Structure formats: structure tokens, C-alpha cells
């Protein structure tokens, strides 16, 4: 136990004083006393404990409470729960103790914030289970999620004191689940900071590079913003509109994302300039009308781009966001995005639904958040046994891009982009989804798989004879639809599984074999299945030939052959038998997850293998994933599969780095485009052939309308060789674009 110094005490008291100053909703004496009581209780409970950074542990709950109070605008019970959120997990105090001292509601929130303890099946993701438990509390209290967000934000702010593999795990989980969840809750400021901090730890070089370029452009950008704002301020003042106009800098993460998806540089991101107009509305005039009035005044000065108008005033986003966006041509030939919103809209956009109760939602009194929470509760009411399946379904519900479609009576339904008519049917009611046979979209007949667009009017056609089909899972996209279809199949699946189990057992008994662990292992290995339930189900469905089972179970395994060979050639030697039985373990030494795995050429294919989904090459930022059989697979850190693994199986993530690679070659793909001219292909191949460290595997060129496009598969030693080649190629006259293809699986 560490001794608390005078300096420590002063640090704690200063942090607590700063918290009290920002408890704007807790001025009453009773509220202050409750916060003081919680602070003293938590301080005593955590006394002597320190964080990885060396600071007293109590600073963490104080900072979490500070974020909840200042950045989310939460009240007394939330602040008290934030101060106590780690007490039950990390000390001997129980939820009952919290309830006795601070009341039932605070105890419920703290219980929701307490991680699950105990042992789970090895195949279950502890992270997924924790996340599911936290979401179960949604039906009781939304504040659990908000405080969890505050907790995650402070952990991300202090992540530099953690080891590299922990940084990757926490950053990956944050980007995969918590940032989208913050977006759904309308916590834009927190969502942006979570994304930026995740990028800082997952791709530190990219983060520093973009931050540096933004810093370089700061003075130039500031002068440009002033030039853009000046005439608008004058125009709005002439019309007696009270407002504040300021630059809304694009986040580092959003710049990085656009660079990755569009393969462009920072300088090429056209909507880097963004201006926010926040005004005080006049009483008696609808806010929507006032937004459009300001739009009219701005577009009198700067010409708008018609296809870049976003009206979230008439139809707010599902997370409650309201604003009118327009992109217009600025004074120096650059595009500028203007965001027009009232002070109320700005308050909601900054602090999310924590402040939404201050304002009216809509005519029915139900906000879009309430509808979303209802959907989440439906998923939780009938959760999948597999926590990872649940995690995938929940992730689907965190869609960021939405469409809005209409019922025949004109009611609006919000769905994710790429939603189908069948998703719409399940959105209305489970029975309508189960009995759906088609739809009329804008009065035209369409199939169940028809992808909807914003503004479509949809009428669902049903039949009592219809029932859910397995192929429906191939095209529905909402978590609600997927969970309802799975629920319908649950009974059917159980029947087929039981039938398959009887068929396998009867077949093996017929030929004098036993259905034991060894037989299961052989069948699962042969058919490459994850579990016996899946095996029985497929056999029961008739997807596998039951007559093959005998041959599969009788098949001699490789280890059996090795043992037979050793016994015949070395005699019945106990030592040799021991060698044979331990050979597998000796071949795969234990991996120290706390150390960075160094990827040497000599160990390739033995101590690690390269992921086929992203095929990293030496020089790429990578991580390792350790599977149940002690095998390590190396992924790029930016690989979508790696991101999912970090968020769901973080305890199996390894920090990894390359040693010098000059012997082995790795496959890379580059894409080229430019002006088609005589001899350009020859110039490209000459540059590649003159590079001693690069070899071509194949090349493909196409030309149309004076433009050519090409794909070249290369073998390179590392990213340095590849980047040097790209620099040489881009110098060829006529070549407009040369880039590396990151998602190599599609091109291999």
C-alpha cells in the first residue's frame, strides 16, 4: 500500500474544487452535501491505491465526475455515481453498501457501471459480455451509458501510461464501439475526442503528420476564415440577427478517414474549411424559418452547391441533431461548409441527449433516441448466447448514415443507409416482417431485397402463408430485422440440431464406433466447423452426407502416424512416446503477451503468419492476434478485422514490430491512372525493372477516352522499397495518380 503524501492530498483537493465549480445543476445545500459525502467515501475506499501513471487513484473518479458535470451537464446523482463508479469493483464495498449510504438509484447506476467478474468460456469475449451488461441497464437508466462515456474519455486522455498492447486494445475498442455509441447519443464533442485519441495511439505517425500540417496552415486558415466571416457578420447585423460565427476545424480523425477512403492528401480535402453560425432566435417565429432566412442571406454573398445542402432542421437526425448545412464557394475559390443552428440546437449538438430533457422533442413526446433505445431493448430481451454475435448486431444499430422513408400515411421512419423493404417491414412490426411478401415503393412493386432511398414512400404487402426464409439474412441490414429473423429460426434450428445428433449417433453405432471427444474433434477438424451444434444442425438439414461420417472418424491423424512410425523404428521407448506427445507444445513456445513480438524473417510461417485480409508488409504498422491454438496472425492496425479483434478480444492482442527484412518478399498492389499516351506502359515497366528491390508478378492496364488505369502486383521487401518506387513512378509525365491498394484481398 502506497503512502499518501501532502502533495497527493493537495492534488486531490484541487481536482475536487475544480469539480465543484462546474456542478452547475447541484447548487442546493442537500446536493452539495451528497457530493461531499460521496467524495470522502470514495477517497477513503481508494486510499493508498495509485494508477499506472503514479497518481492517486481517486483522481480518476473525480475527473470522470468532472466530465459528467461540465461536458455533459449531468446532475447530482450522476456526479455521485461517477465518484463511486469503481468502488464496488476495486474494493470490498458492495452494491448494498452503496444503496444504504446513497440510495437505490445511485446503487443501480453504480451496479450498471461495475464490470462482470468471474470465469467465462474461453471462446466468450469478456469485453463483449461487459458491454452487453452495461447496455442491459439502458432499460433502467440512460445515465449509466453517459457516465461510462465519461469514464472511457478520461481513460483515453491518460492512456499514455499504459503498455503498447493495452493502448491498442483500449483504442481499438473505443473506435469500434464507444465512438459510434457517443455519436448515437448525440455527444459530438466527446465522439470527436475519442476518435482523435484512438487515432493517436493506433496510428501515431499519421496523427502527428496531420496535426503538423494543420498547425502549418493555422495562420493562413485563420486569415481565410476572417475573410469569409466578415461580410456575413455585416449582413446578419444589418438584419438584426444576434449570433456568433466561428471556425469549426475538421477533426484529425475525420481528415485521416477521408484520406484513407478517397486516397487523397490533406490539401485535397475540399471541405476542410467549415464555419458555424449559432444565433439567438426571435420569439414567435419558427426556428426553421429563421435558419432558412440566414441561409438566404449567406447565399446572397456566396453561391451554394445545390447537391451539398443538408436539411436536418425539418427532419432531425436519429440522435437529435438539428442544423441546416450548406456548402458554398468561398472568396478564394475554395468550398466552405456553413452550419446554421440556434443556441438550443447547438446545446444539444455539443452535449447530446443529456440536455435534451430541457427541450421539447416532437409532437408525440418521444425523441428519436427513445425509439432507438426501444430497438436496443428488443435486441437485449432475446440476446444471442454468443456475446460476439450480440456485439455485431448492436454495432449494426450504431449506424452513422441514415435515410428517412415514409409510410403510406406519411409518417417518417429512420433507417440505416442500404436498408431494404424487409428492414422497413420489421421496423413497423415483427409480424409484418415475418409475413412480408413484397412492397410498393413510390407505388411500384418491388421485392423484399429492394434497397430504399431517402424520401421513398413504402407500402408493405403481407400474406398469412408467408414465414421467414434463411436467405433473408443475406440482405437485411438492421439489427432489429436480423434478431427477429433469428428468433423465428431458433425453434426450427433446435429441431434440426436434435435430429442431426440422433443421425450421427445412430450411424456410428451401426458401424461399431463411439461418439466421443476424439470423434467430435475429427469431424469438426474435417468439416472446419466451430462446434458440434453446427455439425448436428448441418447434418439434420441435409447439407452434409451422413455416409461420410464413418470414414472421417476412422481416418488416421498425423500425430497417430508419427507415433506409429516411432514405435516401429525406435521400439517401445517411453522417452520417444513422451517426445511424440509433447511435440505440438515444443513446436509452439509460450508467447509473452507483455512483450513486443519481433517479426524476423527466419521466424516467418513458424512463429507468425500474415493475415490474408490485409497482407501487411514490413514497415506497416501492425499488431498480432493470438488464437486459441497459440498461433499468431499479423494484421495491419488499420485493417477492419484487426479493429474488431481489438474491441472484442483485446486480451489476445500483441504488440508487434518488424526487424530488418531483406531476404523475403511480400505481395503489394499499386494502382495507377493518368493520360494515355504512346509508350507510357513501357516507361512504367522500365522504372520497375530498374529497381533492384522490386519484382513484378503481374500487370493489367485499361484505356478509355484518353485515360488509362492500371493495376500492378509486386513483390517487395518492405514499405520503404514500395514508397521509393511510388515516388519514382509519380515523376513519369502523364501519370496523375499512383497509390498502394490497402485492401489487397479484393485484388489478389
In angstroms, rounded to a whole number, what is the distance separating the alpha carbons of residues 341 and 321? 10
Query: Residue 340 pairs with which residues in a beta bridge?
Result: 277, 324
Phi, psi of 54 (to 5 degrees): 100, -10
Is the CB of residue 712 less than 8 Å from the CB of residue 729? no
Which 3-state string (H, E, C) describes 388-441? HHHHHHHHHCCCCCEEEEECCCCCEEEEECCCEHHHHHHHHCHHHHHCEEEEEE
Q: Which bin fits 468, alpha (ψ -120 to 50), beta or left (φ > 0)?
A: beta
Q: Which bin fits 643, alpha (ψ -120 to 50), beta or left (φ > 0)?
A: alpha
C-beta neighbour count of 456 within 10 angstroms = 18
Per-residue DSSP letters for 222-284? HHHHHHHHHHHHHHHHHTT--EEEEE-PPPHHHHHHHHHHHT--GGG-GGGEEEEEEE-PPTT
Query: Residue 416 pairs with which residues in a beta bridge?
Result: 402
3-state SS class at 384? coil
Is the CB of residue 277 less than 8 Å from the CB of residue 336? no
The owner of cell 439434420 is 540
Is the CB of residue 327 less than 8 Å from the CB of residue 336? yes
Is the CB of residue 358 less than 8 Å from the CB of residue 127? no
Is the CB of residue 214 less than 8 Å from the CB of residue 264? no
Which pairs with CB-CB distance under 8 Å and at least 24 residues apart come from 432-439?
432/460, 432/462, 433/468, 433/481, 433/484, 433/485, 434/466, 434/467, 434/468, 434/484, 434/488, 435/462, 435/463, 435/464, 435/466, 435/467, 436/460, 436/461, 436/462, 436/466, 437/461, 437/462, 437/463, 437/466
In angstroms, rounded to a whole number, what is the distance separating the alpha carbons of residues 260 and 192? 17
Instruction: Indicate which residues carry an active-site annotation.
Output: 89-90
In angstroms, rounded to a whole number, what is the distance separating the alpha carbons of residues 123 and 501? 22
Within 8 A by CB and 6+ apart from 73, the residues are: 24, 25, 351, 354, 355
In angstroms, rounded to a whole number, what is the distance separating the alpha carbons of residues 623 and 367? 41
Give the cell for residue 682: 513501357
Which 3-state string (H, E, C) describes 313-348? CCCCCCCCCCCEEEEEECCCCCEEEEEEEEHHHHHH
Within 8 A by CB and 6+ apart from 371, the residues are: 318, 414
For the CA atoms of the chain, what is the radius of gyration?
30
In angstroms, rounded to a whole number, what is the distance separating the alpha carbons of residues 286 and 342? 11
Within 8 A by CB and 6+ apart from 683, the residues are: 732
Nearest to 165 by CA among 642, 719, 718: 642
Using the CB atoms, write b or e for 655-678: b if 16+ within 10 Å: bbebeebeeebbebbbebebebee
- Sign of the CA dihedral 132, 169, 656, 652? negative
Nearest to 157 by CA among 189, 200, 186: 200
Nearest to 654 by CA among 670, 676, 672, 631: 631
Supply the DSSP symbol for 50: B
Amino acid at each position: 500500500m502506497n503512502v499518501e503524501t501532502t502533495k497527493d492530498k493537495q492534488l486531490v483537493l484541487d481536482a475536487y474544487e475544480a469539480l465543484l465549480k462546474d456542478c452547475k445543476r447541484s447548487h442546493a445545500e442537500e446536493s452539495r452535501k451528497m457530493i461531499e459525502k460521496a467524495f470522502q467515501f470514495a477517497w477513503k475506499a481508494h486510499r493508498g491505491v495509485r494508477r499506472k501513471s503514479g497518481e492517486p487513484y481517486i483522481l480518476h473518479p473525480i475527473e470522470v465526475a468532472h466530465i459528467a458535470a461540465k461536458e455533459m451537464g449531468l446532475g447530482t446523482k450522476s456526479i455521485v455515481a461517477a465518484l463511486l463508479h469503481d468502488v464496488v469493483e476495486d474494493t470490498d464495498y458492495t452494491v448494498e453498501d452503496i444503496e444504504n449510504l446513497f440510495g437505490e438509484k445511485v446503487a443501480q447506476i453504480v451496479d450498471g457501471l461495475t464490470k462482470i467478474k468471474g470465469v467465462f468460456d474461453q471462446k466468450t469475449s469478456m469485453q463483449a459480455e461487459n458491454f452487453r451488461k452495461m447496455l442491459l441497464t439502458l432499460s433502467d437508466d440512460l445515465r449509466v451509458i453517459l457516465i461510462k462515456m465519461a469514464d472511457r474519455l478520461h481513460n483515453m486522455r491518460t492512456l499514455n501510461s499504459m503498455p503498447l498492447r493495452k493502448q491498442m486494445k483500449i483504442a481499438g475498442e473505443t473506435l469500434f464501439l464507444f465512438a459510434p455509441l457517443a455519436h448515437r447519443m448525440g455527444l459530438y464533442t466527446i465522439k470527436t475526442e475519442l476518435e482523435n485519441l484512438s487515432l493517436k495511439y493506433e496510428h501515431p505517425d499519421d496523427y502527428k503528420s496531420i496535426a503538423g500540417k494543420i498547425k502549418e496552415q493555422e495562420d493562413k486558415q485563420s486569415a481565410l476564415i476572417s475573410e469569409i466571416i466578415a461580410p456575413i457578420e455585416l449582413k446578419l447585423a444589418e438584419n438584426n440577427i444576434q449570433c456568433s460565427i466561428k471556425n469549426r476545424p475538421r477533426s484529425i480523425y475525420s481528415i485521416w478517414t477521408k484520406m484513407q477512403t478517397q486516397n487523397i492528401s490533406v490539401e485535397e480535402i475540399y471541405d476542410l474549411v467549415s464555419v458555424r453560425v449559432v444565433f439567438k432566435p426571435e420569439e414567435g417565429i419558427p426556428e426553421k424559418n429563421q435558419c432558412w432566412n440566414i441561409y438566404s442571406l449567406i447565399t446572397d454573398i456566396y453561391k451554394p452547391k445545390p447537391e451539398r445542402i443538408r436539411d436536418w432542421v425539418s427532419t432531425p437526425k436519429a440522435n437529435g441533431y438539428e442544423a441546416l448545412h450548406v456548402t458554398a464557394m468561398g472568396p478564394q475559390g475554395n468550398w466552405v461548409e456553413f452550419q446554421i443552428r440556434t443556441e438550443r440546437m447547438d446545446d444539444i449538438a455539443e452535449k447530446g441527449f443529456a440536455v435534451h430533457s430541457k427541450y421539447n422533442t416532437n409532437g408525440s413526446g418521444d425523441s428519436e433516441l427513445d425509439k432507438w433505445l426501444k430497438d436496443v431493448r428488443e435486441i437485449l430481451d432475446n440476446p444471442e448466447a454468443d456475446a460476439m454475435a450480440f456485439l455485431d448486431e448492436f454495432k449494426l444499430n450504431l449506424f452513422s448514415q441514415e435515410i428517412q422513408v415514409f409510410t403510406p400515411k406519411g409518417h417518417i421512419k429512420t433507417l440505416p443507409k442500404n436498408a431494404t423493404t424487409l428492414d422497413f417491414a420489421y421496423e413497423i412490426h415483427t409480424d409484418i416482417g415475418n409475413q412480408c411478401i413484397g412492397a410498393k415503393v413510390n407505388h411500384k412493386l418491388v421485392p423484399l431485397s429492394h434497397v430504399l432511398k431517402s424520401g421513398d414512400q413504402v407500402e408493405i404487402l403481407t400474406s398469412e402463408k408467408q414465414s421467414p426464409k434463411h436467405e433473408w439474412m443475406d440482405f437485411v441490414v438492421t439489427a432489429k430485422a436480423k434478431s427477429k429473423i433469428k428468433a423465428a429460426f431458433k425453434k426450427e434450428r433446435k429441431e434440426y440440431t436434435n435430429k442431426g445428433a440422433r443421425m450421427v449417433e445412430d450411424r456410428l453405432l451401426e458401424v461399431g464406433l463411439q461418439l466421443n471427444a476424439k470423434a467430435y474433434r475429427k469431424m469438426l477438424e474435417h468439416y472446419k466447423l466451430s462446434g458440434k451444434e453446427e455439425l448436428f444442425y448441418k447434418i439434420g438439414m441435409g447439407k452434409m452426407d451422413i455416409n461420410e461420417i464413418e470414414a472421417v472418424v476412422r481416418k488416421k491423424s498425423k500425430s497417430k502416424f508419427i507415433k506409429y512410425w516411432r514405435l516401429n523404428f525406435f521400439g517401445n521407448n517411453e522417452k520417444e512416446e513422451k517426445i511424440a506427445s509433447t511435440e505440438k507444445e515444443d513446436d509452439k513456445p509460450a508467447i509473452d503477451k507483455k512483450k513486443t513480438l519481433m517479426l524476423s524473417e527466419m521466424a516467418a510461417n513458424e512463429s507468425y503468419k500474415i493475415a490474408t485480409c490485409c497482407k501487411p508488409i514490413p514497415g506497416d504498422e501492425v499488431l498480432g492476434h493470438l488464437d486459441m491454438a497459440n498461433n499468431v496472425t499479423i494484421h495491419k492496425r488499420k485493417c477492419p478485422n484487426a479493429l474488431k479483434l481489438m474491441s472484442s478480444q483485446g486480451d489476445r492482442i500483441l504488440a508487434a514490430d518488424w526487424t530488418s527484412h531483406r531476404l523475403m518478399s511480400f505481395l503489394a498492389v499499386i494502382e495507377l491512372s493518368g493520360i494515355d499516351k504512346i509508350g507510357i506502359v513501357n516507361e512504367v515497366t522500365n522504372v520497375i525493372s530498374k529497381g533492384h528491390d522490386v519484382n513484378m508478378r503481374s500487370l493489367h492496364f485499361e484505356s478509355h477516352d484518353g485515360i488509362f488505369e492500371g493495376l500492378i502486383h509486386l513483390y517487395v521487401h518492405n514499405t520503404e522499397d514500395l514508397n521509393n518506387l511510388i515516388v519514382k513512378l509519380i515523376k513519369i509525365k502523364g501519370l496523375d495518380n499512383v497509390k498502394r491498394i490497402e485492401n489487397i484481398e479484393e485484388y489478389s
